[in-house]
């Protein structure tokens, strides 16, 4: 199965999110570029963070570079343009500035290696992606960069490809556990459709709030939910239906909340999307067993998972065994090892 087949015609902005460095994200991007070239499809690409360098700036290990084919539309910075050897025609200066220079949009005139870096805010990333679509890209790929799962947010991308692999752990079972956890968070169920508009308005206000079973809104006098689990608990009673948390949801908040009241068992905790949850797998399972329910305003669509059985630390999993095991646990999303020919 090809990556292009997973994307189809319905998705216009696709994020590739790596669970760790060296999880195979750049290999996935290069495979997608290659497939698009073979089909004569013009694509666009950019990055949250920086990617395409030959030496990882954090781990000091070699990494795959990004090869851009002719006619590919690219959003990157003026500071990174000289570090690649692809010929580039500048199409637009976006006006977005970063520490790596101004963000420009260009078209590759002669194939070669490039480095990618896009705007720093998610809103600006979305604007740049929309610009590339207007300039002729059939679809745009966002390179998610290190621990930037926010690029998977539905306000930014239509669909997500998740890259995972041996770089997470020497223990194959832990790699599978963490991958399953990430898939679970990114695929959390949405709130009821009739409640979306009200909760969206409250989310834009960027303050925690309670919505009762009668549609009444109760503001909570907090700037953030972080470290405020006890205060959140005081706002819950038998009329509460939703507890909206506009920012990040972390383990400490849920610990304090569940220790302070039993009313949480009758409430749906609502966050914007699964990228806002930062709770380790086993702790998350513990909260589920306690009766904690979490729902999202925007469900993320994972259209595929790519796996990398090799770690830059020198160890690896037997590729066919790793693929078989991962597919044994994840049955409703295609799982691919691109080095095995997309099997």
Closest CA to 272 of 295, 251, 240: 295
**Which residue is listed with tokens 């799982």?**
335
Q: How confident is the model at residue 4 (pLDDT cuts 50, 70, 90)?
A: very high
> Under CATH, which number does the domain 193-296 receive?
3.40.140
Closest CA to 319 of 172, 139, 109, 181: 172
List, for residues 92-128, the tens digit of each pLDDT value: 999 999 999 999 999 999 999 999 999 988 889 999 9
Whether the pLDDT of residue 42 is over 70: the answer is yes
Task: Classify domain 3-187+300-340 at the CATH class level.
Answer: alpha beta
* pTM of structure: 0.89
Burial of 215 (0-12, 13-18, 19+ CB in 10 A): exposed
Residue-level pLDDT at 295: 97
Spatial separation of the C-alpha atoms in residues 130 and 152, rounded to whole Å: 16
Residue-level pLDDT at 146: 43
Whether the pLDDT of residue 231 is over 90: the answer is yes
- Domain boundaries of the chain, sorted by first residue: 3-187+300-340, 193-296
Q: Locate the DSSP E strands across the chain.
A: 13-18, 43-47, 50-51, 66-68, 73-77, 87-98, 101-110, 112-114, 116-117, 139-143, 159-165, 209-212, 217-219, 240-244, 249-250, 268-271, 277-278, 293-296, 302-308, 335-336
To the nearest 10°, the Cα dihedral for 127, 133, 134, 138?
A: -170
Average pLDDT over the chain, rounded to an integer: 91
Spatial separation of the C-alpha atoms in residues 275 and 263, rounded to whole Å: 25
């Amino acid at each position: 199965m090809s990556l292009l087949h997973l994307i189809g015609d319905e998705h216009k902005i696709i994020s590739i999110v790596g669970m760790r460095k060296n999880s195979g994200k750049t290999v996935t991007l290069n495979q997608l570029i290659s497939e698009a070239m073979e089909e004569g499809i013009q694509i666009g690409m950019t990055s949250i963070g920086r990617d395409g360098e030959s030496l990882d700036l954090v781990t000091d290990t070699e990494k795959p570079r990004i090869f851009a084919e002719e006619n590919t539309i690219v959003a990157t910075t003026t500071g990174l343009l000289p570090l690649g050897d692809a010929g580039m025609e500048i199409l637009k200066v976006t006006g977005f500035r970063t520490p790596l220079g101004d963000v420009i949009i260009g078209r590759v005139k002669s194939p070669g290696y490039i480095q990618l870096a896009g705007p720093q805010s998610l809103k600006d990333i979305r604007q740049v992606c929309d610009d590339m679509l207007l300039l002729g890209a059939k679809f745009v790929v966002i390179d998610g960069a290190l621990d930037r799962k926010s690029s998977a947010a539905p306000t930014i991308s239509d669909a997500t490809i998740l890259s995972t692999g041996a770089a997470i752990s020497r223990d194959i079972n832990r790699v599978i556990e963490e991958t399953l956890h990430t898939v679970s968070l990114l695929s959390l169920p949405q709130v009821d459709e009739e409640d979306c508009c009200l909760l969206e308005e409250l989310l834009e206000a960027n303050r925690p709030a309670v919505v009762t079973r009668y549609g009444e809104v109760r503001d909570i006098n907090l700037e953030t939910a972080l470290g405020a689990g006890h205060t959140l608990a005081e706002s819950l009673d038998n009329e509460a239906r939703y507890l909206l948390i506009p920012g990040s949801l972390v383990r400490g908040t849920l610990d304090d909340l569940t220790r302070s009241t039993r009313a949480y068992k009758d409430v749906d905790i609502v966050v914007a999307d699964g990228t806002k949850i930062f709770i380790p797998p086993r702790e998350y399972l513990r909260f589920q067993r306690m009766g904690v329910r979490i729902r999202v305003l925007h469900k993320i669509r994972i259209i595929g998972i790519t796996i990398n059985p090799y770690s830059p630390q020198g160890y690896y999993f037997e590729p066919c065994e790793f693929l078989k095991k991962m597919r044994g646990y994840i049955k409703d999303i295609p799982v691919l090892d691109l080095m095995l020919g997309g099997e």
